[in-house]
Structure 1
Amino acid sequence: MRVSWRWFLGLIWVGVSATRAGSPVFSDEIPFKIRWPGADFTLSTSGGLYKEDNYVIMTTAEKEKYKCLLPSLSSNQEDDMKKYSGPSPAELLEPLFKQSSCSYRIESYWTYEVCHGKHVRQYHEDKETGQKINIQEYYLGTKNKKDSAESETSSDSETEGSTTNTEVPTKNIEGQLTPYYPVEMGQGTECSLRQNEPRFTTVLYVCHPEAKHEILTIAEVTTCQYEVVVLTPLLCPHPKYRFKSSPVNDIFCQALGGSPL
């Protein structure tokens, strides 16, 4: 039996399309594995994710037909989102911002410092003769009182609408489509390569239940504009930002009309 990758991709695409309420998304966020259980397969052995009417008939290049049972991917997370009426993401992160906590990342030359809710700094220390320390530093972004007041206003509006279908931005982080909460910090050290405009950083806070507010990555996405990813457990109580495991979803295929098993 000759089965092309297009056949498998088509099957997975149908599976995603059929279970995402008219919003098909083809990515690695939901992994699938095709299984061939044979003629003795019964629905009762597959658990509650499968219904008899949720299937698709696939045909190979040799006209061999297979009935493939698709899993129902209406996860409990969607129900959790509808029921959630707790703190907004800004309120969940507020303890981190108020306790003057800083996170560090040391690279070959530069050290990066993220003082949450206050500033992002890049610096290098050199010890000169006589133990004098020379510091070369740039502020990649700062948060002033006006910015903080605007954040509080935004936080209030988020709390009022926390049960609505507000879109949460996502980013591919280490191969996983990950929701994040952005905090923008402007008014950094002037950048000579951008006509002395101040440096600017967006800090992306990502839920990770075992993290300790560490810096995962820091990158200069364009000249003097930076992006920092911080892992924190504080966002995890919010279902829209919750760390998601990626179990493999089985697709069961059975031969029809004498096709090879």
Structure 2
Amino acid sequence: METNTTSFFCLLLLISATVTAFLDIDELRNIKYGIDILNKPVLLSTQGIDKQLSETIDVTSKHGQIYRCIIPSQMEAEKQKEEEEKIAMEAGVPELLKPMESGPCLFKTRDWWSYEFCYGKHVRQFHMEDGRIVGNVIMLGYYESEFDWKNETNMEIKSRNKNRLNRYHSQQYINGSKCDLTGKARRTEVRFLCEEGTGDYIARLDEPETCTYVMTIHTTKICHHPYLKLPSQQKPVSITCNPAVTDQVYQDYLKE
């Protein structure tokens, strides 16, 4: 059966004297646990698990029954995660996004206007009817540069990504069509944000200043990069508990 995290913490406090394995306090605070009580007994006199893969804790019910609970180790998952981040860090953000260069341009329609983003090339705006461009095409900028993570200080990076839910990589697209209101060329900052489990798409386009735009693109391609990954959301860890019995009781169980 399943029990919530709070109940499990209370259980740990009540039976702390029976702990047979070291539990990391930070792990208990940050990981959600679910307990599954099984009917199959295990021998009280043996551990029978790989210490590198699991940890054990013996708990006692109010009826005096001892249960041996196996807690999967998070070390392997963390090791794999660190390896993925290391590879992403060494490759660099531009290399992670490079597949977009040979992929199709991205489109988004909002009210009257449609927007097109072609990675490393341009951003443009136009009106479409029956699947065809009608009227003038307004260039919102041509690729000029992008944020260089390797040449920025840690302080600048922290300042840039102080909002953990809004970490982004940016490119500058300049020298677009002349703006009638300002007399200057239009320009666009394109921001790439991590979104896991989806393809690449234009999430929104804002105009914070006249003829100056911010296009936000969501992509999975940068989610392994340590500077751009989303805040960690720990998955529930399944703890299995079996009745721990004496040799005689265990032999009787096998005969049934």
- The two structures have a TM-score, normalised by structure 1, of 0.53
In structure 2, the partner of 1:41 is 13
Which letter does structure 2 place at the counterpart of 1:118?
K
8 Å CA contact 2:127, 2:133 repeated in 1: no
**Which residue of 187, 190, 197 maps to 1:210?**
197
Conserved? CA contact 1:171–1:180, under 8 Å: no
Superposition RMSD on alpha carbons, in Å? 4.1
Gaps of 5+ in 1: 1-34, 52-75, 249-261
Match of residue 100 from structure 2: 96
Give 1 or 2 for the bigger CA radius of gyration: 2
Aligned to 1:181: 169
Give the deviation of 1:238 after TM superposition. 1.7
Shift in alpha-carbon separation, 1:187–1:179, aligned structure 2, 3 A: same
In structure 1, distance between residues paired with 2:181 and 2:228: 36
Q: Within 5 A, what are the aligned runs for 1:5-154? A: 41=13, 48-50=24-26, 80=82, 85-97=89-101, 99=102, 101-126=104-129, 134-143=134-143, 147=144
8 Å Cα contact 1:110-1:122 kept in structure 2: yes
- Deviation at 1:40? 7.9
TM-score, reference length from structure 2: 0.54
Q: Does 1:241 align with 2:228?
A: yes
Q: 1:195-206 to 2 correspondence within 5 Å?
A: 196-206=183-193
Q: Deviations over 1:12-51 (max 9, x none)?
A: xxxxxxxxxxxxxxxxxxxxxxx69769835769952349
Find the counterpart in structure 1 of residue 218 from structure 2: 231
Q: Matched residues in 1 for 2:206 and 2:230: separation?
A: 23
* Alpha-carbon distance change, 234 to 162 in structure 1, aligned in 2, over 3 angstroms: farther
Question: Is the Cα contact below 8 Å between 2:126 and 2:133 reproduced in 1?
Answer: no
In structure 2, the CA distance between the partners of 1:187 and 1:46, relative to structure 1 (3 Å rule), is farther
1:170 alignment partner, one of 161, 176, 179:
161
**Secondary structure at the counterpart of residue 90 of structure 2:** coil
1:80 to 1:124, Cα distance in 2 relative to 1, 3 A: same
Q: May I ask how many residue pairs the two structures share in their alignment?
A: 173
What secondary structure is seen at the aligned counterpart in 2 of 1:190?
coil
Letter in 2 for 1:116: Y
Distance, in Å, in 2 between the alignment partners of 1:108 and 1:136 is 17
- How many Å separate the matches in 2 of 1:101 and 1:133? 17
Q: For residues 193 and 162 of structure 1, do their structure 2 counterparts lie closer, same or farther at Cα, with a shift above 3 Å needed?
A: closer
Tell me the residue number matched to 1:222. 209
- When residues 108 and 162 of structure 1 are mapped into structure 2, their CA distance, relative to the original with a 3 A threshold, is closer
| Structure 2 gap ranges (5+) | 1-5, 28-77, 236-256
Change (3 A) 1:189 1:38: same
- 1:227 is displaced (CA, Å) by 0.6
Shift of 1:83: 5.1
Tell which deviates more after alignment, 109-118 or 41-50.
41-50
Per-residue deviation, 1:179: 1.3
Conserved 8 A contact 2:97-2:222: yes
- 1:186 and 1:230 map into 2 onto residues whose CA distance is 18
Q: Structure 1 residues 225 and 163 mapped into 2: Cα distance closer, same or farther (>3 Å)?
A: closer
SS of 2:181's partner is helix
In structure 2, how many angstroms separate the alpha carbons of the residues matched to 1:126 and 1:50? 57
Q: Whole-Å Cα distance in 1 between the matches of residues 94 and 155 of structure 2?
A: 17
Percent of residue pairs bearing the same amino acid type: 25
